[in-house]
């Protein structure tokens, strides 16, 4: 208390100073001119504070009351309002505690006769008193209700009871109550009710941007799904859930026309398609001559505002070299990657003249022109005259 503890009305005025009660704290404020703080610790049973400030102790509980005072200023003492027994007191030596600050009095296995006023008196003669009342406080038994599940059936002071429903219904009311020092539960009992959510509330004024709603289930925990017409995308959650309060979770999304950013164009290539790009629009990619495409040539703008795939790459390549008349090649494609080879062969009765294999070089050119297929008779008649040239071609072929 700060102020006058007694005041007298004299000539329409009160004497002294208006008193105020300030909570005692332990934030390193242990000044000699202030009343000491008292801490409470308990074991083997509950304690609680009554509305009028008494410390209610359940029988059998061990209570430690620690008076905070700096030991270097002297030793405080405990005074008890009755002489039923002597209580052990002294500086706290428990592990993790401060023996230079906590002067303890202990009540072991509290009994009704231990009730009384316990006062800590400091060497500076400041006091702090605690009224202890030992009694077996119980709250009323919780009667069963349909579908209501209790975490415990205990009723002694300090007991906490959690509630839930086992019938799939919603819990209406508090999820936890506690037995107070007054012998009353901290709140009324909840009930389990079947709750359904109504229509999903669509805010007024959305007009064309309002989403479509498909309710899957109206029961608690059920959901409703949102969707938008073609060419529009959701801004917000795609679902809402039925809450125990009978309301749908928020927020409600809106629909907006979808547009995709320009995807860009590949190096050594170009893009066909004019912005703005709306949902469903497509973009086609093309590569410059002597380049081949790696990836998808066409991508589409999706309802989520993203393209259906990445931009392809245009890489240097060789174009189709052609096939020898009456001959065959190992692979027929529009483009061939750098380093790729193709092999040539001739129909039965024909012989190949020229290299049997071509390679796609780094500059996008083939290593040689395609060979030709000639009849074996023609090859024999020209063998003598063509010998020097054939020999040279063979050397070139081996070199390649």
Same domain, 170 and 278: no
Neighbouring residues of 90: CB distance < 8 A, sequence distance ≥ 6: 103, 104
Report yes or no on 142 lying in a domain: no
**89: Cα separation from own chain's centroid:** 51
Q: Are residues 288 and 247 in the same domain?
A: no
Domain co-membership, 102 together with 50: yes
Residue 26 has pLDDT above 70, yes or no: no
Cβ neighbours, 10 Å, residue 55: 21
- Domain identity same for 74 and 119: yes
Q: Within 10 Å of residue 119's Cβ, how many Cβ atoms?
A: 19
CATH number at 280 reads: 2.10.70.10
Count of domains forming the chain: 5
pLDDT at 109 over 90: yes
Q: What angle do CA 368, 371, 374 make, to 5 degrees?
A: 160
Q: How distant, in Å, are the alpha carbons of 251, 253, 279, 357 from that of 236? A: 7, 4, 18, 60
Range 43-51 average pLDDT: 91
- In the predicted model, is pLDDT for residue 159 greater than 90? yes
Say how far residue 145 (Cα) sits from the centre of its chain: 36
Residue 201 lies in a domain: no
Whole-number Å distance between alpha carbons of 135 and 108: 15
pLDDT of residue 398: 35
Q: Which of 4-13, 357-366, 367-376 has the highest mean pLDDT?
A: 4-13
Last residue in a domain, options 134, 164, 185: 134
Reference 326, options 371, 366, 293; nearest CA is 371
Higher pLDDT among residues 228 and 161, named by residue: 161
3-class DSSP assignment, residue 89: strand
Over residues 317-331, the mean pLDDT reads 88
132 neighbors 55 (Cβ within 8 angstroms): yes
* Predicted local confidence at residue 399, as pLDDT: 35
55-57 and 127-134 beta bridge pairing: parallel
Q: What is the DSSP letter of 168?
A: S
Which pLDDT does position 213 carry in this prediction?
A: 93
What are 251-309's pLDDT values in tens digits? 989 888 888 999 999 999 999 988 889 888 899 999 888 888 888 999 999 877 889 99
Co-location of 16 and 88 in the same domain? yes
DSSP assignment of 13-75 equals: EE-S---B------SS---TTSPPPEEEEEESS-EEE-TTS-EEE-TT-EEEEEEE--GGG--
Burial of 111 (0-12, 13-18, 19+ CB in 10 A): middle
Paired tokens of 224: 């409703």
**CB under 8 A, 24+ apart: contacts of 342-348:** 344/370, 344/371, 346/373, 347/373
Whether residue 237 lies inside any domain: the answer is yes
Same domain, 283 and 272: yes
* Structural domain ending residue among the three candidates 268, 285, 317: 317
Is 397 a residue whose pLDDT tops 80? Answer: no
The model's pLDDT over 28-39, given as tens digits with 9 standing for 90+, comes to 567 788 889 899
- 3-state secondary structure string, 365-389? CECCCCCEEEEHHHHHHCHHHHHHH
Q: Tell me if 4 is assigned to some domain.
A: no
Look at residue 84 in the predicted model and tell me its pLDDT: 85
- Is 163's pLDDT higher than 90? yes
Contact 129, 119 (CB under 8 A): yes
Q: Are residues 253 and 357 in the same domain?
A: no
Q: Tell me if 2 is assigned to some domain.
A: no
Of 146-155, 179-188, 240-249, which gets the smallest average pLDDT?
240-249
Contacts 24+ apart (CB under 8 A), 115-118: 116/80, 116/81, 116/82, 116/84, 117/80, 117/81, 118/65, 118/78, 118/79, 118/80, 118/81
Whether 312 and 326 map to the same domain: the answer is no
Q: What is the pLDDT of residues 70-105, one digit of tens each?
A: 999 999 999 999 988 899 999 999 998 999 999 999
Q: CA-to-CA distance for 104 and 77, rounded, in angstroms?
A: 9
Domain boundary among 317, 341, 366: 317
In the prediction, which pLDDT does 145 show? 86
pLDDT of amino acid 93: 92
Percent of the chain with pLDDT over 90: 52
Task: Please check the confidence at residue 2 and state whether its pLDDT lies above 90.
Answer: no
| Residue 378 reports pLDDT greater than 50 | yes
Alpha carbon distance 159, 161 (integer Å): 7
Q: CATH code at 13? A: 2.60.40.10
The verdict on whether omega for the bond into residue 318 sits within 30 degrees of 0, i.e. cis, is: no
- Domain span holding position 83: 9-134
Binning pLDDT at 50, 70 and 90, where does residue 250 land? confident
* Residue 382: predicted pLDDT: 45
């Amino acid at each position: 208390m700060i102020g006058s503890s007694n005041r007298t009305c004299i000539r329409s005025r009160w004497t002294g100073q208006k008193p105020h009660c300030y909570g005692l704290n332990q934030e390193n404020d242990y000044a000699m001119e202030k009343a000491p703080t008292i801490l409470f610790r308990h074991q083997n049973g509950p304690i609680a504070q009554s509305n009028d400030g008494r410390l209610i102790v359940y029988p059998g509980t061990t209570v430690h009351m620690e008076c905070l005072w700096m030991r270097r200023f002297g030793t405080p003492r405990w005074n008890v309002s009755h002489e039923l027994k002597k209580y052990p007191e002294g500086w706290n030596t428990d592990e993790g505690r401060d023996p230079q600050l906590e002067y303890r009095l202990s009540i072991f296995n509290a009994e009704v006769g231990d009730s009384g006023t316990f006062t800590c008196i400091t060497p500076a003669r400041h006091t702090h008193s605690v009224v202890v009342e030992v009694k077996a406080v119980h709250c009323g038994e919780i009667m069963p209700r349909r579908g209501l599940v209790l975490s415990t059936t205990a009723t002694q002071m300090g007991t906490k009871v959690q509630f839930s429903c086992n019938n799939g219904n919603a819990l209406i009311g508090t999820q936890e109550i506690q037995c107070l020092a007054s012998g009353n539960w901290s709140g009324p009992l909840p009930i389990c009710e079947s709750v359904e959510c109504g229509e999903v509330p669509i805010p007024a004024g959305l007009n064309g941007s309002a989403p479509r709603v498909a309710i899957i289930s109206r029961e608690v925990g059920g959901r409703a799904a949102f969707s938008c017409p073609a060419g529009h995308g959701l801004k917000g959650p795609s679902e809402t859930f039925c809450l125990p309060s009978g309301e749908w979770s928020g927020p409600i999304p809106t629909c907006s026309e979808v547009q995709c950013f320009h995807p860009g164009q590949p190096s050594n290539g170009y893009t066909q398609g004019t912005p703005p790009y709306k949902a469903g629009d497509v973009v086609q990619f093309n590569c410059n001559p002597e380049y081949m495409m790696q990836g998808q040539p066409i991508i589409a703008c999706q309802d989520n505002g993203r393209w259906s795939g990445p931009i392809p790459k245009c890489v240097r390549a060789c174009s189709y070299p052609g096939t020898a008349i009456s001959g065959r090649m190992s692979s027929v494609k529009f483009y061939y990657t750098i380093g790729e080879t193709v092999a040539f062969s001739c129909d039965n009765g024909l012989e190949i003249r020229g290299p049997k294999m071509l390679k796609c070089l780094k500059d996008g050119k083939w290593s040689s022109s395609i060979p030709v297929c000639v009849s074996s008779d023609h090859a024999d008649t020209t063998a003598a005259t063509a010998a020097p040239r054939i020999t040279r071609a063979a050397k070139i072929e081996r070199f390649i």
